[in-house]
Structure 1
Amino acid sequence: MGHGHTSGVETVGDGRSASAGGYTLADVRFPGTPGEGTLSFLILNDHGQPHTRFQREQTKLMHVYVVRTDLADFDHVHPAMAPDGTWTAPLTLERAGTYRVVAEFVASGHHGRGHLVLGDEVTNLRPHLDSYAHLTGFRRGDLTTVHLHPEQSAAPGVTGEPMLAFHAEFDKPGTYRLFIQFQTGGVLHTAPATITVS
């Protein structure tokens, strides 16, 4: 995925495969029709058992990105895990279509710790998940995932500047659809943008 999070933890996977680093995104259940529904899934270890030990990253145990394959719709949710390892989150789909579900997490346990990515001008910025903004991108075609945070660190009770700088390293050239999430006035906004990386 080409971005840094927890110090000393290597990122494994780019959201295009359900398995990486000894873990598998499995049993994904998705709303069958547009509207309000529920997303659920399991993270399995290399023995095929649900993995239940995770480390918080950006204040959450699990980040899940849902993107329509034509890149027209995007959502970023934080599911809750049941004791049996089933993750669930409410999810509202705007329209029918084919979607990619990308789970991003830091696992802990017998594999050690690894940051895994698995997949079947603004003013008065308030921190969102300990950052002034989150930027998630998907490469057109194969949906390779990139996830970035601004170079400016968020501080409690401090608003961000009108301009934010993101450091980006893209592993592959191509056209990327970016979704920038930021908070102003207590409201979370998502702004799409398209860039070409050569």
Structure 2
Amino acid sequence: MSSSPCTSLRRALTATATAAALGAVLTACGSSGTGHDMAGMNHGAAASATASAEAPHSMPGMDHEMPGMEGGNGLSDSQAGYRLTAQDAAVPAGTAADYRFAITGPDGKAVTDFAVDQTKQMHFYAIRSDLTGFQHLHPTMAPDGTWSASLAALAPGTWRTYASFTPDSGDGKGTALVLSRTTTVAGAATGTGTALPPASVTAQADGYTVTVTGDLMANMAHGMTVGIAKDGKPVTDLQPYLDTYAHLTAFHEGDMAFAHLHPETTVNGDHGGPDLSFHAEFARSGNWRLFLQFRTAGQLHTAALTLKVG
């Protein structure tokens, strides 16, 4: 039986023929059998160029920040078109001072519309380069978008100030951001070369003992529990602070990267404790200085400890 032109042409193909050539032959022959069986090869060859061009956008996780980086790590004064600007590059030492700053948006104008997060539109932090002198404030905003944070007296040295916020309008609406700047406090700095206290899972504050448990690893989300006791007895009279029973902030030793650990314990009146759950994500391994703030009998307490993250 004589061969058809298409059959002869198929037999003429060598093992080194390209997928594109094979696809062209099958299309020309219009075979309902072999052409159907090999359709996937032709489709794959045609799609490969497109897939290569789109790979950076189609790979899972490529457009998202690493774990622990919600809002960024706080080491830049700009992100996503938003910028932290400050009126003063230096702050006087040894006396209370107002630190004035603004957030400008992608259009270069001062942002005045902010979402409420844990009862506040703006969370502001100041800490010295040796991770001492921690302050967590809630500044006030003027109509023109200028914020004013009332800092307690700062010791001389290099400080970093962080602004944590979420725009409630514009391109960044709903996006949590953390921006920061370095600030100089004039005078002879002392103690800045002192190492952090050794890593420990316990800390003392105002007669309270704070204990942290959890197997923490960098770039991985983990549950973390904070237990609070006083005189050896579990505390059950924690009062809400910023819509939670404890606020937890951390700074990385060396580069001062920022992390805010999110509380998961449900608030139910003035009887929180003794154990509080947190969603913990750290972007870097090494030592982190943790600052836990909690309230009892109307008084705010701050416990600090050095936590080792693997």
What TM-score, normalized to structure 1? 0.90
Residue 127 of structure 2 aligns with an amino acid whose one-letter code is V
Q: Gapped runs of 5+ residues in structure 2?
A: 1-65, 182-227, 230-234
- Alignment match, 1:67: 127
Which amino acid counterpart does residue 74 of structure 1 have in structure 2? F
Which protein has the bigger strand share? 1
2:79 corresponding residue in structure 1: 20
Partner of 2:289: 177
Larger radius of gyration: 2
Query: Deviation at 1:145?
Result: 0.5
Q: Which residue matches 2:91?
A: 31
Q: Is the 8 A contact 1:180 1:190 kept in 2?
A: yes
Would the alpha carbon gap of residues 76 and 52 (structure 1) be closer, same or farther in structure 2, given more than 3 Å must change? same
What per-residue deviation string (whole Å, max 9, x for no partner) do you get for residues 160-184 of structure 1?
Answer: 1122232212121111000000001
Runs of 4+ residues over 6 Å off in structure 1? none
> 1:15-164 residue pairs with structure 2 within 5 A?
15-29=74-88, 31-111=91-171, 112-120=173-181, 121-122=228-229, 123=235, 124-155=237-268, 157-164=269-276
Structure 1 distance, partners of 2:253, 2:170, is 35
CA contact 1:27–1:41 (8 Å) conserved in 2: yes
Deviation at 1:93?
2.6
Matched, 1:189 2:301: yes
Answer with 145-154 or 97-106: which moved more: 145-154
User: Deviation at 1:46?
Assistant: 1.9
Residues 93-142 of structure 1: per-residue CA shift (max 9 Å, x gap):
34222111110001022213211111112422111010000000000111
Label 1:147 to 1:2 Cα distance change in 2 as closer, same or farther (>3 A): farther
| Structure-2 change in CA distance of 1:187 and 1:102 (3 Å) | same
Give the conservation status (yes or no) of the 8 Å contact 1:11–1:114: no
Q: Is the 8 A contact 1:12 1:21 kept in 2?
A: no
Contact 1:179 1:191 in 2 (8 A): yes
In structure 2, the residue matched to 1:7 is: none
- Aligned residue pairs total 191
Residue identity in the other structure for 2:271 = T
Q: Alpha-carbon deviations, 1:15-46, whole Å to 9, x = none? A: 10000121001025353112211111010112
Post-superposition offset of 1:47: 2.7
Q: How well do the aligned residues superpose, as a CA RMSD in angstroms? A: 1.8
Aligned-partner Cα distance in 1 for 2:253–2:174? 30
Which residue pairs with 1:6 in the alignment? none
Matched residue type, 2:303: A
Query: SS in structure 1 opposite 2:118?
Result: coil
Letter in 1 for 2:73: D
In structure 2, how many angstroms separate the alpha carbons of the residues matched to 1:96 and 1:149? 32
Point out the more displaced range, 15-24 or 158-167: 158-167
Supply the distance in 2 between the matched residues of 1:18 and 1:95 (Cα, whole angstroms): 23
Distance 1:71-1:62 versus aligned 2 partners, 3 A rule? same
Q: Is the 8 A contact 2:262 2:280 kept in 1?
A: no
- Once residues 247 and 129 of structure 2 are traced to their aligned partners in structure 1, the CA distance between those partners, rounded to angstroms, is 20
Give aligned-pair identity as a percent: 43
Q: Give the letter for the 1:101 counterpart.
A: T
Work out the CA distance in 1 between the residues paired with 2:87 and 2:307: 30
Separation (CA, whole Å) in 2 of partners of 1:115 and 1:167: 16
Deviation for aligned residue 1:73 = 1.4
Structure 1 residue 54: deviation in Å? Answer: 0.6
Q: Which TM-score applies when normalising by structure 2?
A: 0.58
CA distance in 1, matches of 2:258, 2:243: 21
Supply the AA of the counterpart residue of 1:114: T
